[in-house]
Structure 1
Amino acid sequence: MSGLPAGGSVPELVPGLVPELFRGLFDDAAVFPPGNLPVAEAVPAHRAHRAAWYAEAVGPLLCGAGRLGELAAATAAEAGSASLRVGLVLPGGSAELAPALAAAAPFEVAGVELATRDAAEAVAELDRLLPPHVPAAVELPRELLHGDGLDAVLDVLVDSPYRAKFRTGGVVAEAFPDEAELAAFLTGCAQRGLPYKCTAGLHNAVRHTDPQTGFEHHGFLNVLLAAQETDRAAAAAVLAERDGEVLAKAVRALTERQVTVIRNSFTAFGTCSIAEPLGDLAALGLLPSPAPQPQEDR
């Protein structure tokens, strides 16, 4: 399911086609598993996304600290292109922050995502090194976020200017949290007014079982709708819904205020495919899919 024009043609940007609920929702994680697109291919693909009719839905190109050299080489080969908006992903923790910021000098740094086992230490380093205009998200391993551990981490972050980050999937079944675990995170953030982003496993709109891997994937529409809940049982019920039409109807019924509450909470998620989430939304009637622009005969 694509929802994008066939044949590689991309309609030009048409402002206002993307509803507020989906603006800036899809961070471009094309170079990460399972997509693993080479950096040299990811850069022009990202620029095409940013020039397309759905550009308002697309966030920055995400790049790991260890691949910034490749990214610099790929952009240096371009002629006359605008500065690239990049989200820095730092799986090695605070030690990567200073060198990554230095290596990212050729780019417009749109955000930092810092993995850590110590939220307080990460906040202190971000306070010390991060330019004030650059947002950041802090990710802790899921095994540290059970019971009182979750509350302790969220309490540290709510007193900071930084978002939380939660991993919703991966390349093994164990990387996918169940509804109860994800609901605990979402409602813990909602109760504190703490914004967050998610990553991995969310490139489809609706909760489903992957027919090839058997992995249980959360749907990003489920997460959007659950983001307004402060009760765990209610959030878990929304996360468990597998009927796309039920979710689409609930999305259409959202008020402007509800959309604001949801997006102030769930700010973005990383997806290795931009086409799949857009295609799902188009199939559910939640996003238009304009015809490609006419092209000259070649």
Structure 2
Amino acid sequence: MNPLFLRLFDDAAIFPPGNVPMAAAVAAHRERRGSPLEPMLGPFICSLARWDELVAAAAGGPPLAVSLVTTSPELPAAPEIDIVAVEMVGATEAGAVTTYAEVPCGEITATRVAALRDAGLRLKIRTGGVRADAFPSEAELARALWAAVRGGIAFKLTAGLHDPIRHRDPATGFEHHGYLNVILATAQALQGYDIERALADQDAERVAAAVARIDEVLAKAVRHHFISFGTCSISEPVGGLLSLGLLPEDLR
């Protein structure tokens, strides 16, 4: 499998707009762990407010790798749950596990990135939501990604990235970023190129072809920075890669 897609999809099934019930989401995640999709799957994402639900749903099964969205550095514990990362708005110092500090896209500057990096933190960037104003523009996201890559920090994205290519949702009218556009923009930032055009490109074949040309060395550097993104659907982003010929057919 292309290393660009390994552990790329963090499972946010319980969050809007998916809103899958906890027990069903945990069961589906564990089923995927035993399927050919496993190499692409990141941790299950859950908020601290729903911890008790998660513990009940996970009981009696194999360990569940979880990224916990929380406001507290104090972490709960349960036998079946392995907290592998923490995601916090305004985090200022790293905790016992990998810690992502969520920062509004427009506030991500070289100075802010340097402070987070020096504190041992990773960066979380929100790229969508249930309102139009939750989606940063190409220019805003380009500035944030440029600051992250040039500042040497790892980052994850969240929301609005089900489709591999930038597009306008016909139902809502929202302009969604594409995760392949982000991969391409990250690669171009590492090479010192302008990246806003890569984020804005809506030509699926052109973007897919450019991503397919990323060699193994550059792919490793891209994923050193772009760790993953949270998605309430795993099947949709996988289906997008299949439709573009970027995954083997046996993953259908």
TM-score (normalizing by structure 1): 0.80
CA distance in 1, matches of 2:111, 2:57: 41
Correspondence for 2:166 among 182, 207, 216? 207
Give, as a single letter, the amino acid of the residue that structure 1 aligns with 2:202: R
CA distance in 2, matches of 1:232, 1:220: 20
Output one character per residue of 1:22-51: Cα deviation in whole Å (capped at 9) or x when no partner.
000000000011101111111100001111
The question of 1:265 aligning with 2:239 is answered no
The question of 1:72 aligning with 2:55 is answered yes
* 1:83 alignment counterpart: 63
Task: Give the conservation status (yes or no) of the 8 Å contact 2:117–2:153.
Answer: yes
Task: Give the conservation status (yes or no) of the 8 Å contact 2:181–2:207.
Answer: yes
Task: Give the conservation status (yes or no) of the 8 Å contact 1:168–1:199.
Answer: yes
Provide closer, same or farther for how the CA distance between residues 246 and 271 of structure 1 changes in structure 2, counting only shifts above 3 A.
same
* 1:36 alignment counterpart: 19
How do 1:1-298 residues align onto structure 2 when only pairs under 5 Å count?
Answer: 18-76=1-59, 78=60, 81-90=61-70, 93=71, 96-98=72-74, 101-103=75-77, 106-116=80-90, 122-124=91-93, 126=94, 130-131=95-96, 134-145=97-108, 150-230=109-189, 234-290=194-250
Q: Percent identity?
A: 44
Task: Give the conservation status (yes or no) of the 8 Å contact 1:205–1:221.
Answer: yes
Output one character per residue of 1:81-113: Cα deviation in whole Å (capped at 9) or x when no partner.
2111111012xx3xx221xx1245641111111
Runs of 4+ aligned structure 1 residues displaced above 6 Å come to: none
CA distance in 1, matches of 2:100, 2:240: 27
Output one character per residue of 1:33-76: Cα deviation in whole Å (capped at 9) or x when no partner.
11011111111000011111011000010000100100001122
CA distance in 1, matches of 2:31, 2:193: 41
Output one character per residue of 1:175-216: Cα deviation in whole Å (capped at 9) or x when no partner.
000000000011111111111000000111000000000000
Task: Give the conservation status (yes or no) of the 8 Å contact 2:66–2:82.
Answer: yes
Deviates more, 1:159-168 or 1:226-235: 226-235
User: What RMSD in Å do the two structures reach over aligned CA positions?
Assistant: 1.7
1:144 deviates by 3.5
Give, as a single letter, the amino acid of the residue that structure 2 aligns with 1:115: V
Which secondary structure does the structure 1 equivalent of 2:250 belong to? coil
Which secondary structure does the structure 2 equivalent of 1:73 belong to? helix
* 1:295 alignment counterpart: none
* 1:10 alignment counterpart: none
Task: Give the conservation status (yes or no) of the 8 Å contact 1:187–1:232.
Answer: no
CA distance in 1, matches of 2:194, 2:10: 27
Task: Give the conservation status (yes or no) of the 8 Å contact 2:37–2:251.
Answer: no
Structure 1 residue runs without a partner (length 5+): 1-17, 117-121, 293-298
CA distance in 2, matches of 1:191, 1:143: 17
Structure 2 residue runs without a partner (length 5+): none
Provide closer, same or farther for how the CA distance between residues 254 and 143 of structure 1 changes in structure 2, counting only shifts above 3 A.
closer
Provide closer, same or farther for how the CA distance between residues 143 and 262 of structure 1 changes in structure 2, counting only shifts above 3 A.
closer
Which secondary structure does the structure 1 equivalent of 2:172 belong to? coil
Provide closer, same or farther for how the CA distance between residues 167 and 138 of structure 1 changes in structure 2, counting only shifts above 3 A.
same
Which secondary structure does the structure 1 equivalent of 2:67 belong to? strand
1:232 deviates by 8.9
CA distance in 2, matches of 1:105, 1:233: 47
CA distance in 2, matches of 1:103, 1:67: 13
* 1:6 alignment counterpart: none
CA distance in 2, matches of 1:250, 1:228: 10
- Total equivalences in the alignment: 251
Task: Give the conservation status (yes or no) of the 8 Å contact 1:183–1:232.
Answer: no
Give, as a single letter, the amino acid of the residue that structure 2 aligns with 1:41: A
